[in-house]
Amino acid sequence: MNMFWTGVLLAMVASAFAPGWVKGIIFVVALMLSGVLVRLQAHAPHHLHAVMSPWLIAVAGVGFGIFAWHYARVRGLAQLGTAELRTRWTNVRRVSRWGW
């Protein structure tokens, strides 16, 4: 348990002085090493096996799909020009259930 808090303190120091992309990498590595998302199992010397929940993979896939759909819609409307983008995006926000 002391290693956990040592890692938290080191991550706080690193995030205070590091650029934004390093903070993201530290966050992902901390999640992986914490065992919350991925369990690492050692089967033999020099061999690690990562086990991930199928539900986590499904939620990540759906989240990425929704993001990609939103991004593609904005990029498609951006091809029309600024005024047309504003007009159509306003209509999309008016019609859409969640406003995006």
Domain spans of the chain, in order of start = 2-54, 63-95
- Say what the pLDDT of residue 26 is: 77
- Say what the pLDDT of residue 6 is: 74
- pTM of this structure: 0.45
Q: Are strands 38-44 and 47-52 parallel, antiparallel or unpaired?
A: antiparallel
- Say what the pLDDT of residue 57 is: 80
Residue whose token pair is 């390093």:
22
Counting Cα atoms < 13 Å in the Cβ hemisphere of 10 gives: 10
- Say what the pLDDT of residue 40 is: 67
Splitting the chain (100 residues) into consecutive groups of 10 residues, what average pLDDT does each group show? 72 79 78 68 73 80 88 81 84 74
CA distance 8 to 2: 10
- Say what the pLDDT of residue 98 is: 66
